[in-house]
């Protein structure tokens, strides 16, 4: 397959381009798993596909370097499937259309999959290269990271042989990550019924679009709008002042992406319809002014449409709107130990109605377990007051920083010698698989690093071309430097 991204290093970009041609949304990774396993086998390397969908490829040490510590290169197979509302794209079948935009590579109206495709491509390039110096290597490609980390959770203890783990899933070149937040999903359900719409009403759809969205951990502190919160603000005023009846709502799509779009079908008493439209126009201007810097492309539209025959039971829609109004969203607390690091947050990711229920999905993150527990209690109490069912599931642990890590010292010294400056050592407010793998394989010495990726989990995702070269050079030198 021709490489249509002819940059340095060519092996990395070759594999990354091939990955863009393989649909690999979370939970639909069969083809990319086949590609990775086939690559390992074609190189004559020991290749294992486990019951959790992970692929492990082992490469022997360069002759004379067998005594070095074993290194595990770890990345994940799946990508977040997000697209702009006007983009026609089926993530189960269609390849990603990559676009070179100056110093960046992005996609045409969809997520690019640089998260974590660049890490996967780098590991494949290491496996393929016969001119690198390294000790015993393992490349671990985990399944379903973006939708619950089930691959990492399902990894059998004792499968990995290495003692150093290099996670290639970070998004700021020049930074070494030594810790991450833990997280847990919240699923909130309002059981509801529909009732006939009696009286003289006019139908409208409300559109909230144009938001940047982004990664619910990495971008949660950027002040971007959440489409679910913005929509609910409009529904709240409409129901309190104009008799709004809610027929349906659909906002957000993934629990680890900040909601970019929301759509609601509503009915307004005919005698209040014009006043409602005027109110929404004023509110839209006010909200857009709030987000004029963080989300300058925000659009709020009200479109006359068919009047719904049925609407959600009024008492349920009232409780839903009030609950979403008070559910926390965004940064809850900044870290007291690391300047600029978010400690605790909640992403109010999805609000969608249908089939007799309204479902809200959130992703809670914190690097302090007690604060995560407190946030769970807060959300649980809100749900109790609102009469909603809820459960917390798919918890994953954080990764506690070890400032005395030997691999940290090695990589920090190496970076300073190679680039003439110190790397930024920090933790990340996102879920990395290091926390899970460190629990499965006690004693692993771990670092996470990668090239510069902006706006992951959104159609604005892009990767900086030059940073990929520096990331590769640093990775190669790190493999050579183990002792």
Half-sphere exposure of 470 (CA within 13 A, CB side): 20
Over range 383-403, report the average pLDDT: 94
End-to-end CA separation in angstroms for the chain: 38
Mean pLDDT of the chain, nearest integer: 96
* 404 Cβ contact list (under 8 Å, min separation 6): none
In contact, 422 and 413? CB cutoff 8 Å: no
Q: 3-class SS at 259?
A: coil
* 70 Cβ contact list (under 8 Å, min separation 6): 135, 136, 137, 138, 161, 162, 163, 164
pLDDT band with cut points at 50, 70 and 90 for residue 339: confident
Pairing outcome for strands 453-454 and 462-464? antiparallel
Q: What is the CATH number of domain 184-396?
A: 3.30.70.360
pLDDT tens, residue by residue, 252-302 = 999 999 999 999 999 999 999 999 999 999 999 999 999 999 999 999 999
Domain map (residue ranges) of the chain: 10-180+399-481, 184-396
pLDDT at residue 483 in the model: 58
Both tokens of 274, joined, read 């014009």
Active site residue 309: no
pLDDT at residue 1 in the model: 52
pLDDT tens, residue by residue, 80-138 = 999 988 899 999 999 999 999 999 999 999 999 999 999 999 999 999 999 999 999 99
Over range 68-79, report the average pLDDT: 97
482 pLDDT above the threshold of 90:
no
pLDDT tens, residue by residue, 269-282 = 999 999 999 999 99
193 pLDDT above the threshold of 70:
yes
pLDDT band with cut points at 50, 70 and 90 for residue 216: very high
Nearest-Å Rg of the Cα atoms of the chain is 24
In contact, 171 and 453? CB cutoff 8 Å: yes
Active site residue 369: no
| pTM of the predicted protein model | 0.82
Q: How far is the C-alpha of 124 from the C-alpha of 11, rounded, in Å?
A: 8
pLDDT at residue 2 in the model: 58
Element housing 30 (H / E): helix 30-42
Q: How far is the C-alpha of 341 from the C-alpha of 425, rounded, in Å?
A: 12
pLDDT tens, residue by residue, 230-241 = 999 999 999 999
Q: Which of the residues 138, 145, 219, 433 is marked catalytic? A: 145
pLDDT at residue 338 in the model: 84
Q: Left, alpha or beta for 280 (phi > 0: left; psi -120 to 50: alpha)?
A: alpha
CATH superfamily for domain 10-180+399-481: Zn peptidases (3.40.630.10)
pLDDT tens, residue by residue, 11-32 = 999 999 999 999 999 999 999 9
């Amino acid at each position: 397959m021709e490489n249509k991204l002819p940059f340095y290093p060519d092996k990395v970009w070759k594999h990354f381009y091939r990955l863009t041609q393989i649909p690999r949304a979370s939970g639909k990774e069969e083809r990319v798993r086949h590609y990775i396993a086939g690559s390992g086998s074609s190189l004559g390397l020991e290749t294992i596909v486990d019951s959790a969908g992970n692929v492990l490829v082992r490469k022997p040490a360069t002759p004379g370097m067998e005594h070095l510590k074993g290194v595990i290169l770890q990345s994940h197979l799946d990508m977040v499937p997000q697209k702009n509302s006007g983009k026609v794209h089926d993530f189960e079948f269609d390849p990603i259309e990559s676009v070179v935009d100056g110093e960046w590579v992005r996609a045409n109206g969809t997520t690019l999959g640089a998260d974590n495709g660049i890490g996967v491509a780098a590991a494949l390039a290491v496996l393929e290269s016969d001119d690198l110096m390294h000790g015993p290597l393992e490349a671990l490609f985990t399944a379903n990271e973006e939708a619950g980390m089930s691959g990492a959770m399902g990894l059998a203890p004792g499968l990995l042989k290495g003692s150093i783990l290099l996670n290639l899933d970070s998004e700021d070149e020049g930074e070494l990550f030594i810790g991450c937040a833990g997280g847990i999903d919240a699923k909130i359900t309002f059981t509801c019924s529909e009732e006939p719409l009696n009286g003289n009403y006019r139908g409208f759809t409300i559109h909230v679009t144009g938001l940047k969205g982004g990664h619910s951990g990495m971008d949660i502190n950027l002040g971007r709008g959440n489409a679910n919160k913005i929509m609910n603000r409009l529904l709240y005023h409409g129901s309190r002042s104009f008799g709004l009846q809610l027929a349906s709502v659909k906002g957000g799509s993934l629990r680890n992406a900040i909601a970019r779009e929301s759509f609601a079908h509503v009915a307004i008493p005919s005698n209040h319809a014009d006043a409602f439209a005027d109110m929404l126009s004023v509110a839209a201007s006010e909200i857009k002014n709030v987000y004029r810097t963080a989300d300058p492309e925000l659009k709020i539209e009200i479109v006359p449409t068919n009047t719904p025959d049925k609407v959600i039971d009024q008492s349920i829609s009232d409780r839903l709107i009030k609950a979403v109004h008070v559910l926390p969203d965004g940064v809850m607390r900044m870290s007291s130990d690391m300047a600029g690091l978010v400690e605790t947050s909640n992403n109010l990711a999805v609000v969608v109605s249908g089939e007799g229920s309204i479902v809200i999905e959130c992703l809670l993150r914190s690097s302090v377990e007690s604060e995560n527990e407190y946030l769970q209690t807060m959300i649980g109490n809100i749900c109790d007051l609102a009469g909603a069912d809820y459960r917390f599931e798919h918890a994953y642990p954080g990764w506690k920083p070890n400032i005395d890590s030997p691999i940290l010292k090695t990589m920090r010294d190496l970076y300073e010698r190679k680039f003439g400056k110190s790397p930024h050592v920090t933790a990340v407010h996102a879920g990395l698989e290091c926390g899970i793998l460190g629990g499965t394989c006690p004693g692993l010495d771990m670092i996470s690093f990668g090239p510069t990726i902006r706006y992951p989990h959104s159609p604005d995702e892009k990767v900086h071309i030059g940073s990929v070269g520096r990331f590769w050079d640093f990775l190669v030198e790190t493999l050579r430097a183990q002792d």
